[in-house]
Every structure is written in structure tokens, then in C-alpha cells.
Amino acid sequence: MNRNRPKFKQILDAAVVVIAEHGYHSSQVSKIAKQAGVADGTIYLYFKNKEDILISLFQEKMGQFIERIQEDIQKEETASEKLFFLIQRHITFLSEDQHLAAVTQLELRQTNRDIRNQINEVLKGYLQIIDEILESGIESGEFQEELDARLARQMIFGTIDEVVTTWVMNEYKYDITELIPKVHKLLLHGCKR
Amino acid sequence: MNRNRPKFKQILDAAVVVIAEHGYHSSQVSKIAKQAGVADGTIYLYFKNKEDILISLFQEKMGQFIERIQEDIQKEETASEKLFFLIQRHITFLSEDQHLAAVTQLELRQTNRDIRNQINEVLKGYLQIIDEILESGIESGEFQEELDARLARQMIFGTIDEVVTTWVMNEYKYDITELIPKVHKLLLHGCKR
Amino acid sequence: MNRNRPKFKQILDAAVVVIAEHGYHSSQVSKIAKQAGVADGTIYLYFKNKEDILISLFQEKMGQFIERIQEDIQKEETASEKLFFLIQRHITFLSEDQHLAAVTQLELRQTNRDIRNQINEVLKGYLQIIDEILESGIESGEFQEELDARLARQMIFGTIDEVVTTWVMNEYKYDITELIPKVHKLLLHGCKR
Amino acid sequence: MNRNRPKFKQILDAAVVVIAEHGYHSSQVSKIAKQAGVADGTIYLYFKNKEDILISLFQEKMGQFIERIQEDIQKEETASEKLFFLIQRHITFLSEDQHLAAVTQLELRQTNRDIRNQINEVLKGYLQIIDEILESGIESGEFQEELDARLARQMIFGTIDEVVTTWVMNEYKYDITELIPKVHKLLLHGCKR
DNA sequence: CATGAATGAGTATTCATTCAT
DNA sequence: AATGAATGAATACTCATTCAT
């Protein structure tokens, strides 16, 4: 089950395409295998079961995305800039891969609680970044002192998530990256003094 | 398929309990029928198919909830008060029926796009209420003139939804109604001048 | 279960129409009831079960047809005339009611062995008429002395049945009554000296 | 869906046995699978659905039977001999496999029109053979010049079919092969000058 | 006699997973 | 490592029949 062998990524990429195209419930293992160019049984050399494909998919795609943000966000100075950076990266990342966006915003949610719990584990890293932005903002005086960090975090994540989901459900018919400064302004206004 | 006969509501109530308890994918029609105290076949005298139970469930429970808000919110004067009223009703409504909360926040989303689209139709009424609050606030000068109504709406809905979902995923272990004033303050701050 | 009450015939007529139109397997009791203008439950005041509708249908429609032939055929003198009379009546009767023809030739055969056995009981009367024609023909010297009555009977019935079935399967697109003299000539030729 | 793999024939043979024994409507897929010694799901690797089993059954069993007749009948010289050959082969073939006879004469007819139409496609080859016999007989002067080929074909097929069906419905209680010369004589008499 | 709401037994089909090759 | 044929559990839905009114 080595994650570094080429077929591991090959299967995950196939899964994104198939699920985005046919929806989660019509994405049989055999369909993913065919798209990946491997035999059905080969899937099980790399993944414990079908759910594991989904979880690995999220871990792999979002995990590295989160890691890179964590590194790069250090370079931003003010909390406002950090918030802008987060929103920009998040929206830009998904705008560049509409298949992945459809999978994360719509299809991945059609799963049972177990999978969603594991997905939330991955998301924790992302939520921590938000928390760090909020802390730094409160500390520096940019944000309201009495800001409830947990609520503010839910507002930030909930808003960005809703913005992306709406874009996907509207079938990408407008340029979501144009919304980045507006979302930033809106959320910043909600946090700052 | 008369929605006024007692068994219609009886089956919907049973569906809420069963789905909340076992999750959507483990909620067989026969399980719902048993919980409702009717025969399996009786379900199909009131619902076209299993999906129709879910859609009707949302239409019935959320539909009347939205209608009542639409009426009562007129009594509130300022946009700030209207916003508070909306948040309070939304959170209170779901805090009073944890089964229903689990269904709307988690289980109902484990469905295919067709169902989601029908659910979104019901939600449109709710989003309109938010839009009206925003308009009245902008008009009265309470809110920023340059506020992007669509984005602000997504922020408000996205935040409340995320707050409730987080509460459900944490298994109701804190009193969510205590968050009402905080959520109000946060969102108001994001909108006002 | 009185066969003389008007609803008895009303239901049978409805059954012929519904079965001819939708085929046997799509002819639910409720559909027949609706066509007959009675409640589903009313069917069971006149018929033991669904199979009984079919059997009664055949008994009623074919039974009286056979009886009338039995009476009228006496008037014919020679075996050849009798045979002509039989063929003419059989083909004319079904050509006048295409719905009934579709039911007897196609739909009624899509049933299980029990029903077919009961149908065969009704047919025995018909086969007896054939036997009587054959006997009189052999006796009078019109037909071959060594004719195997059972086989000849199967030939006569099998041929007429096949002729009518072919006509129904070709959707009545030619005038079957024109075939009467030809069929008579063919079968007569097979039997006579 | 390869018709040459051994399980294909294995399943068809099992289907003949099960359907002959229990009747078409009591022959569940699982029953056929069990008889064939395969899992239920395996059926669907070889057949599109349950109906496809029936259609394939007829195509396979009757198709090759018809093909062989087509080849061998060339060796017969006179139309009378060809007719004898056809009757002999037809009756002998079904007399040797009573299960198959029950299926073709009784059970296969308990199906809907779609299946019947597909079965008729297979039968067309058989009817062509009859037509060729009739043509050669008319040409050689053995048969009546004015013979209506379509009617004569219906007589020949209808008679043989009725003879076999009667034998099956009488539960094989007499030796049907003894009827071969009699049927031949009867039908020949009907056709010849 | 007549109704029609309620019943509940019965079954074809899918598809994740395995394992002999 | 890779294959893909074989497995078999699991379930929504229909419709003939009943029976309280």
C-alpha cells in the first residue's frame, strides 16, 4: 500500500475524474479501475476498500494543499494579509481543478458519517490555520479583542465553503476568482475592530 | 398521496427518527414503515418512492418553518433586529429537535444531486428572507452601502449552517442557543457600516 | 357470484379491453376494476381471484360460441359443409372482435398450466365438434376410411389456430375472412379420399 | 457474455431443467443458479437479465436444430421425402428431451410479446424450410399447383406444433414418434395433387 | 352489495470484494 | 505485482387480496 508507487496517484486521479463526471453513487470501483487503466483487483492492492479511495483522495489532494498554505502563510505579515492569502489560495486552488471542486463540494458529502469524520480530521489542519490568523489578528490589535475564535473560524470556513459550493452548483458559470477580494473584505470587516 | 391524511405525517416523523438514528444509507423503507406502525406497502400510498420521503420531509418540516419566519419577521423593525430574529429562530428550531437537526445537517446531504436540487428549491425561500434583511439594512443605512448582497447572503447562511453542523457533529454536547447573540454580533459586524 | 348480474359481464368486458390493450402481465386487477367502473374489492364479489377472471372470460365468450356452433352445425348436411361452417364461424367470430382475438391467441397463453388446463376443458367441446365432423365424413365416405381421427382433429384445430394467431401477430393487417374458403379447401383436401 | 465459455451452456441446461420442473413463473433466478452450481451474480456475467436466459435458450437449442435440418434436408430428393424428414426430425428432437419439449411447448409461451417476437425471429428459419419444401413440391408437380404457400405453411407448422403440444400436455404418456408417418401422410395428402 | 385503504409476501439485480492463476 | 471471473449479500417496490365501514 505504498503511497509513492505511480499507480496510487493514477487511481486517485481516475477517481476524481469518474466521480466528478458520474457522481459518487454511480462511480463503481470497476469504473474507476477502467479509467485508471488497471484491473479491478489492483485497486485493492493500494486501497483497503472503496471508502479508503475517497479518504485517501481527500488526504492526498487537500493534505498537500493545506501543508503548502501552512508554510507560505508565514511570509504574510498582517492578519489581514494572511486572511487574504488563505482565501486566495483556497479559491484559486479549487478554481483550477473543477473536477476536484465538484468532488469536494458535492460528491464527497454524499457519504456516511465515518468518512466525513475522517475528512474532518484532514480539515483540522486547515481550521488551525484560521485559528492562527485569528489569534495573530487579536494579538496585533487588528481584530476585535472579544472575538469568539471558534465562531469566527466557523464564519470564515462556512463562508468560503458556501461561496465555492454555490459556484459549483451554478456550474462554474462565473469567474469565482473575482470574488476573492470581496470575500476578504466581507470577512475582514466581520473580524476587525 | 394526500398530504393531509394522518399517516402522511406519521411516516415522515418515523423517517426523521429512523434516519437520525441509523443514518440515511441504513434506513431501509421497511425500517421506516415499522417505526411508523404501517405496512411497507402503505409507504407507497403516500410517497412515490424512497427519495420522495426525504424530499417531502424537508418540504414539510422546513417549508412551514420558513413560512412562519417570513410572517413573523415583518414585526421586527431594524435590520439588526431582523437578523437576530432569523438567527434565533433558525438555531432554536433545530436545537429543539435534535433528530431533525441530524437529518438536515448530515444525512440529507448524503443524497444525489437530484434530491439536493429539490431541497435547494425549498431553501430559496429562506435565502430570500436573508436578501430582504440585507436590502432593508442597506436602505436604512444600517449596513454598508457597497455590500455585495449575494456574498453577504452566502456568509450569513454559510455561517449559521456551519455553526449548526459543528454542534451536531459534536453530538450536541454544548448549548447551541447560547451562541445566538454571538453569531448575531459577528454577522452584524460583518455587514454594518 | 351470480353470473347473471350485470356487473359480472361488465367486468369481463373490461378485462378483455384492458388485457388486449396492455397485455396480460400489465393488466392489474385495479386497472380492470377502473375500466369496469367498479371498486377493486367489487371484483372479488364476482370472481374468486384474478385467474378466475381469465377462466370465466374464456368460458363465457368461447363457451357460448361453441354452444351455438354445436346447434347450428346440425343444419349442414355433408361433412364438407360442416367443416366449412366450422371454419367460417371460428374465423368470423374472432375477426369481429379483435380485442378478444388478441386475448385468446396471445395473452391467455401467457398463463400458468393450471389456467391452461381449465381452458382446455372448455376447448373439449370444440374438439368434440371436430370429431363429429370427422366421424360423419368417414361414415358417409367423404373422408378417408383410415383417417386417424385424433391426428386429423389436431391438424384441423392446429391449422385454424395458427392461421388466426398469425393474423393477430401481423396486427390484423389483412382481411382474414378471405382465407376461409382456402383454409377449407386445404383441410378438406387433407381429409377426403 | 461469451457464449462459448462452458458456464454459458451450463446455465442454459440448468434453466431448461428448472423451468420444465417448476414452470416459468416459479423459476427464480436463484433457483436456476443453484441448479447450475453457480452464484446468482454469475448468471449476469452471461445474460443481460432473466428474459435473456429464455431467449438465449431458444436461440441456442432451436437455432442449431434448425441449422442442422437446413443442411441435411438437401440430401432428400422428393418434396414428400423432405416433408417426412422435417416431421421426423422435429418430433424426434423434442421426444428425446422432454424437459426441452415442456419448455418450448408450454413455458416459453407464458412470456410477454417482446420475448415472443424474438422467438419468432428464430422460428423464421424454420418456416423458410417449410416454404422451400412447398416450392420444390409445386415445381416438381408433386403438390397442387394452386396451393397457397402461406396457408399450407401454417397448416404444416400448426399441425406439428399441436401434435407435440398435445403430447406434452398428456404428460408424454404415449410414444409420439409412432405418429411421425401418420402426420406425414396426413399433411402430404393435404398438399399433393 | 359496494367500497378502497391497507396489507405484506415475494424477487430480480447490483457491485464491492476475493482469490486462484 | 497484477488480473478479472466469480461471489452472494442486501433491498426497494408491486399488486393480488382483505375487511372495516
In this prediction, residue C5 has a pLDDT band, given cuts at 50, 70 and 90, of confident
Cβ neighbours for C63, distance < 8 A, ≥ 6 positions apart:
C122, C125
Whole-number pLDDT of residue A3: 76
Q: Cα(D79)–Cα(D140) distance, rounded to whole angstroms? A: 8
Share of chain C above pLDDT 70, in %: 99
Whole-number pLDDT of residue B8: 96
Of D167, D165, D188, give the one whose Cα is nearest residue D85.
D188
| Residue A115 in grid coordinates | 468518512
Question: For position D9, which CATH number holds?
Answer: 1.10.10.60
In this prediction, residue C111 has a pLDDT band, given cuts at 50, 70 and 90, of confident
Whole-number pLDDT of residue A161: 95
- In one-letter notation, the amino acid at residue B109 is R
Distance from CA of B62 to the nearest CA of A (A): 19
Q: Cα(B159)–Cα(D57) distance, rounded to whole angstroms? A: 62
C-beta atoms surrounding C108 within 10 Å: 20
D100-105: long-range contacts, CB 8 A cutoff, minimum separation 24: D100/D16, D100/D20, D100/D61, D101/D164, D101/D167, D101/D168, D101/D172, D102/D19, D102/D20, D102/D168, D103/D16, D103/D19, D103/D20, D103/D57, D104/D58, D104/D61, D104/D62, D105/D161, D105/D164, D105/D165, D105/D168, D105/D169
Residue D192 is given by DSSP the state B
A40: alpha, beta or left? (left if phi > 0; alpha if psi -120 to 50): alpha
Decide which of C47, C64, C85 is a domain's last residue. Answer: C47
Report the distance from CA of residue C40 to the C1' of nucleotide F8 in Å, as an integer. Answer: 39
User: For the residues C130-156, what does the mean pLDDT come to?
Assistant: 94
Which residues 56-115 of chain B have a CB under 7 Å from nucleic chain E? Answer: none
Residue C47 has pLDDT above 70, yes or no: yes
Distance from CA of C155 to the nearest CA of D (A): 4
Distance from CA of A150 to the nearest CA of B (A): 9
User: For the residues B90-98, what does the mean pLDDT come to?
Assistant: 97
Q: Do residue B41 and residue B68 come from a single domain?
A: no
Name the residue of chain D whose CA is nearest to C153's CA: D159
Q: Assign D143 to helix, strand or coil.
A: strand
A145-154: long-range contacts, CB 8 A cutoff, minimum separation 24: A147/A191, A147/B186, A148/B182, A148/B186, A151/B163, A151/B179, A151/B182, A151/B183, A151/B186, A152/A190, A152/A191, A152/B186, A153/A127, A154/B159, A154/B162, A154/B163, A154/B166
Name the residue of chain A whose CA is nearest to B105's CA: A109
Q: Do residue B136 and residue B70 come from a single domain?
A: yes
Distance of CA A55 to the CA centre of its chain: 12
Q: Which helix (H) or strand (E) holds A70?
A: helix A50-72
Q: Please count the residue pairs, one from chain A and one from chain B, whose beta carbons lie less than 8 angstroms apart.
A: 91
- In one-letter notation, the amino acid at residue D69 is I
Q: Cα(A76)–Cα(A84) distance, rounded to whole angstroms? A: 9
Yes or no, beta carbons of B186 and A182 under 8 Å apart: no
Q: What is chain A's Cα-based Rg?
A: 18
- Spell out a b/e string for B142-176, using b for 16 or more CB atoms within 10 Å of the CB, else e: bbbeebbeebbbbbbbbbbbbbbbbbbeeeeeeeb
Stated length of chain C: 193
Name the residue of chain A whose CA is nearest to B164's CA: A154
Of C44, C48, C46, C16, give the one whose Cα is nearest residue C32.
C16
Nucleotide with C1' nearest the A30 CA:
E15
Whole-number pLDDT of residue A14: 97
Residue D37 is given by DSSP the state T
Are the CB atoms for D25 and D60 separated by under 8 Å?
A: no
Are the CB atoms for C150 and C69 separated by under 8 Å?
A: no
Write down the mean pLDDT value for chain D: 93
pLDDT, tens digit (0-9, with 9 covering 90-100), for A25-41: 889 999 999 999 999 99
Distance from CA of B36 to the nearest CA of A (A): 24
Name the residue of chain D whose CA is nearest to C112's CA: D110
Whole-number pLDDT of residue C165: 95
Q: Do residue A152 and residue A57 come from a single domain?
A: yes
Q: Do residue C17 and residue C96 come from a single domain?
A: no
In this prediction, residue C24 has a pLDDT band, given cuts at 50, 70 and 90, of confident
Interface test with chain C among D109, D120, D123, D159, by most C beta carbons within 10 Å? D159
Of C111, C115, C105, C10, give the one whose Cα is nearest residue C52.
C115
Q: Do residue A127 and residue A84 come from a single domain?
A: yes
Tell me the residue range of the domain where D172 lies: 57-191
Provide the sign of the torsion angle of the four alpha carbons D174, D176, D181, D183, taken in this order.
positive
Whole-number pLDDT of residue A2: 67
Stated length of chain A: 193
Residue D109 has pLDDT above 90, yes or no: no
Q: Assign B192 to helix, strand or coil.
A: strand
Q: Do residue B31 and residue B97 come from a single domain?
A: no
Q: What is chain D's Cα-based Rg?
A: 18
- Residues from C contacting D (CB-CB < 8 Å) are 23-25, 106, 109-113, 116-117, 120, 144, 147-148, 151-152, 154-155, 157-163, 166, 169, 179, 182-183, 186-187, 189-191
Decide which of A32, A47, A62 is a domain's last residue. Answer: A47
Kindly determine whether the C-beta of residue A24 is less than 7 Å away from any atom of nucleic acid strand E: no
Of B119, B185, B127, give the one whose Cα is nearest residue B157.
B127
Interface test with chain A among B142, B189, B192, by most A beta carbons within 10 Å? B189
User: For the residues A124-134, what does the mean pLDDT come to?
Assistant: 96
DSSP codes, B119-188: HHHHHHHHHHHHHHHHHHHHHHTSB-TT--HHHHHHHHHHHHHHHHHHHHHTTT-S-GGGGHHHHHHHHH
Yes or no, beta carbons of D163 and C158 under 8 Å apart: yes
User: For the residues C151-163, what does the mean pLDDT come to?
Assistant: 95
Yes or no, beta carbons of D163 and C161 under 8 Å apart: no
DSSP codes, chain C: --TTSHHHHHHHHHHHHHHHHH-GGG--HHHHHHHHTS-HHHHHHH-SSHHHHHHHHHHHHHHHHHHHHHHHGGG--SHHHHHHHHHHHHHHHHHT-HHHHHHHHTGGGSS-HHHHHHHHHHHHHHHHHHHHHHHHHHHHTSB-TT--HHHHHHHHHHHHHHHHHHHHHTTT-S-GGGGHHHHHHHHHHHHB-
Residue B96 is given by DSSP the state T
pLDDT, tens digit (0-9, with 9 covering 90-100), for D38-67: 999 999 999 999 999 999 999 999 998 999
Report the distance from CA of residue B24 to the C1' of nucleotide F11 in Å, as an integer. Answer: 14
Residue B117 has pLDDT above 90, yes or no: no
Yes or no, beta carbons of C159 and D161 under 8 Å apart: no
Whole-number pLDDT of residue A1: 55
Q: Do residue A23 and residue A59 come from a single domain?
A: no
Of C49, C91, C105, give the one whose Cα is nearest residue C183.
C91
Report the distance from CA of residue C42 to the C1' of nucleotide E1 in Å, as an integer. Answer: 9
Kindly determine whether the C-beta of residue D110 is less than 7 Å away from any atom of nucleic acid strand E: no
Residue A113 has pLDDT above 60, yes or no: yes
Asked if residue D52 is part of any domain, the answer here is no
Residue D21 has pLDDT above 80, yes or no: yes
State which residue has its Cα closest to the C1' atom of E15.
Answer: A28
Report the distance from CA of residue B41 to the C1' of nucleotide F13 in Å, as an integer. Answer: 8
Do the two chains B and C touch, given a threshold of 8 Å on CB pairs and at least 3 pairs?
no
pLDDT, tens digit (0-9, with 9 covering 90-100), for B121-147: 999 999 999 999 999 999 999 999 999
Interface test with chain B among A83, A113, A118, by most B beta carbons within 10 Å? A113
- Residues from A contacting B (CB-CB < 8 Å) are 23-25, 106, 109-113, 116-117, 120, 144, 147-148, 151-152, 154-155, 157-163, 166, 169, 179, 182-183, 186-187, 189-191
Q: Do residue D39 and residue D66 come from a single domain?
A: no
Q: Cα(D150)–Cα(C176) distance, rounded to whole angstroms? A: 13
User: For the residues A45-74, what does the mean pLDDT come to?
Assistant: 94
In this prediction, residue C2 has a pLDDT band, given cuts at 50, 70 and 90, of low
User: For the residues D3-13, what does the mean pLDDT come to?
Assistant: 91
Asked if residue D187 is part of any domain, the answer here is yes
Q: Do residue C42 and residue C55 come from a single domain?
A: no
Residues packed against strand F, CB within 7 Å: A 2, 5, 7, 38-42, 44-45; B 26, 28-30, 40-41, 44, 49-50; C 26, 28-30, 40-41, 43-44, 49-51; D 5, 7, 38-42, 44-45
Do the two chains B and A touch, given a threshold of 8 Å on CB pairs and at least 3 pairs?
yes
Are the CB atoms for C29 and C50 separated by under 8 Å?
A: yes
Asked if residue D23 is part of any domain, the answer here is yes
Q: Cα(A89)–Cα(A98) distance, rounded to whole angstroms? A: 15
User: For the residues D104-127, what does the mean pLDDT come to?
Assistant: 88
Write down the mean pLDDT value for chain C: 93
Yes or no, beta carbons of C110 and D106 under 8 Å apart: no
Residue D146 is given by DSSP the state T
Cβ neighbours for C145, distance < 8 A, ≥ 6 positions apart:
C138
User: For the residues A151-161, what does the mean pLDDT come to?
Assistant: 95
User: For the residues C101-114, what does the mean pLDDT come to?
Assistant: 87
Q: Cα(B142)–Cα(B131) distance, rounded to whole angstroms? A: 14
Kindly determine whether the C-beta of residue D112 is less than 7 Å away from any atom of nucleic acid strand E: no
pLDDT, tens digit (0-9, with 9 covering 90-100), for C129-139: 999 999 999 99
Q: Do residue A87 and residue A23 come from a single domain?
A: no
In this prediction, residue B167 has a pLDDT band, given cuts at 50, 70 and 90, of very high
- Residues from B contacting A (CB-CB < 8 Å) are 23-25, 106, 109-113, 116, 120, 144, 147-148, 151-152, 154-155, 157-163, 166, 169, 179, 182-183, 186-187, 189-191
Taking CB atoms and an 8 Å cutoff, what residues of chain A touch B182? 148, 151
Q: Do residue C17 and residue C29 come from a single domain?
A: yes
Yes or no, beta carbons of B154 and A159 under 8 Å apart: yes
Q: Cα(B3)–Cα(A173) distance, rounded to whole angstroms? A: 38
Q: Do residue A36 and residue A73 come from a single domain?
A: no
Number of domains in chain B: 2
> Where on strand E do bases come within 7 A of a protein Cβ?
1-20
Interface test with chain D among C19, C109, C110, C115, by most D beta carbons within 10 Å? C110
